[in-house]
Chains A and B, each alone.
Chain A
Amino acid sequence: MTPHSNVLFRFAAPQAFYGLAGRLWPWVATLATVFGVWGLWIGMFVAPIDFQQGQAYRIIFVHVPASWMSMIIYLAMAFWAVLGLTFNTRLSGMMNRALAPTGAMFAFLSLWTGALWGKPMWGAWWVWDARLTSELILFFLYLGFMGLTASIDDPRRSDKAGGLLALVGAINVPIIYFSVRWWNTLHQGASVTVTQGSSMAQTMLWAMLLMALAFWLYAIAIALYRIRTLILEREKLTQWVEAELRPEGAS
């Protein structure tokens, strides 16, 4: 065992991870806020007005990073699922349960901002664009995961079943995306393009990357925060949790 892998396995124990998460999340949240404010400022005030779409296009600074995050979080869940099913660690299942609501939130946000963008652009609240449709399906995959893990009472079974579902879903996501794109081009539906033909202005790209970074850091912070509560729930019969929950000063 190399020293490096020793460190990794040490934090695989819920108690150690609880401490680590507790120390980390405030910092990550602060960074997320900083990047978020910076990105929004550039996106809302600094980036030039698009001569075709006017001010309304600015919503892409939320829409696009939210879409990216909804997909990245799903990949992260699949990663933890593989770890959990291979090494049988308790923390992987908890990590997935911590990540899923945030992923679902980003997918939902992406759908809403897509609709809000679509209305002034094409006059319709919903267009069957390939990406938006895939996003909707991804949203259902998240809901399915949350529904399944919530319905199974036994935590171990819930973790494993959720992990298997996340894995099956992750393998299907490229297939689903490909088939929806095929479907869309076949029917020549309206297509959402981020840029208007020519390459994006530097500032727009900059703002989007900053927002993506902010969302990513936010997701990490909230997942760390959430997993602390999950750890306390799961491990509530152990001594360290009882000590942790005892009010200060009580004997």
Chain B
Amino acid sequence: MRPFLAVVRRDVSLALRRKNEVMTSVFFFVVVAALFPLGIGPEMNTLRQIGPGVLWVGALLASMLSLGRMFAADHDDGTLEQMVLSSASLPSLVGAKILAHWLLSGLPLVVLSPVLALQFDLNGQAIEVLMATLLLGTPLLSLIGAIGAALTLGVRGADVLLSLLVLPLYVPALVFGAGAVQAQTAGLGASAHLSILAAMLLIAAVFSPWACASALRIALE
């Protein structure tokens, strides 16, 4: 447990010392949510319909933007190598880094989403469901994205390649996340969607750290 917590604590305190990382995700999310109404028009009915999708896509892209930094800095200064070499289980150290990444770039989006949802005139219940889907979905995005980040570590053109690798894998989360809110507003209830999101999150939480650890070992050979 000690290595896991040490990594989480270190990553969070490092990011807080250079606040721009957290700010980038949040800022991007806010900007996307503000740009869409400007691009589509202020008609409330339309905005209410597209709101969940727009907010989810915004969260997804914001999460994707910060993925590249997950392992790159540690790779450059050699601390990642020490983690791979250590006797602590690498999947658990990777899991700690993913958790830290989510705390810094996913959780703020969840907290901010109700405010942005008001711009799209979503009612209270829809906002609740939106927050629940983002609470389940943003860690899922971090877990899936981490695999892409680990595979593209130190590779030429990593940023674009990372997006290409990760976007197809993001589709299920997007479909069920945005779909849940739309189901809620249509009166159908979101419990099925939320259960599926939760199941995907559990599977990813088990599978992804292991896959990332393999990818990191391959990258450091």
Contacts and interface: CB of A to CB of B under 8 A. Distances in A.
A175 interface: yes
B179 A148 contact: no
A175 B211 CA distance: 17
Given A140-B164, A141-B168, A175-B172, A186 B151 contact: no
Given A148-B152, A169-B168, 5 more contacts: A85-B214, A147-B157, A151-B161, A157-B219, A182-B179
B129 to A, nearest CB: 15
- Pick from B167, B175, B219 the residue with the most CB of A within 10 Å: B175
Interface string A138-152: 101101100110011
Nearest to B152: A148
Contact of A164 (B171, B172, B176, B214): B214
Given A148-B152, A182-B175, A164 B168 contact: no
Interface in A204-241: none
Contacts of B15: none
Contacts of B179: 182-183, 186
A178 B179 CA distance: 14
Interface in A125-162: 137-138, 140-141, 143-144, 147-148, 151-152, 154, 156-157, 160-161
A82 interface: no
A176 interface: yes
Interface residues of B, number: 28
Interface string A166-193: 0011011001101110110010000000
Interface of A: 85, 137-138, 140-141, 143-144, 147-148, 151-152, 154, 156-157, 160-161, 164-165, 168-169, 171-172, 175-176, 178-180, 182-183, 186
Nearest to A181: B175
B176 A179 contact: yes
Contact of A161 (B151, B169, B175, B183): B151
B155 A179 contact: no
Main DSSP-derived SS at the A contact region: helix
B157 A151 contact: yes
B104 interface: no
9 contacts: A85-B214, A137-B171, A138-B168, A140-B167, A147-B161, A148-B165, A161-B151, A179-B176, A183-B179
A109 B52 CA distance: 33
Contacts of B17: none
Contact of B151 (A85, A137, A165, A182): A165
B103 interface: no
B218 A164 contact: yes
B116 interface: no
A155 B25 CA distance: 35
Given A148-B155, A160-B218, A168 B211 contact: yes
B84 interface: no
B215 interface: yes
Interface in B163-186: 164-165, 167-169, 171-172, 175-176, 179, 182-183
Contacts of B200: 175
A183 B19 CA distance: 37
Contacts of A165: 151, 165
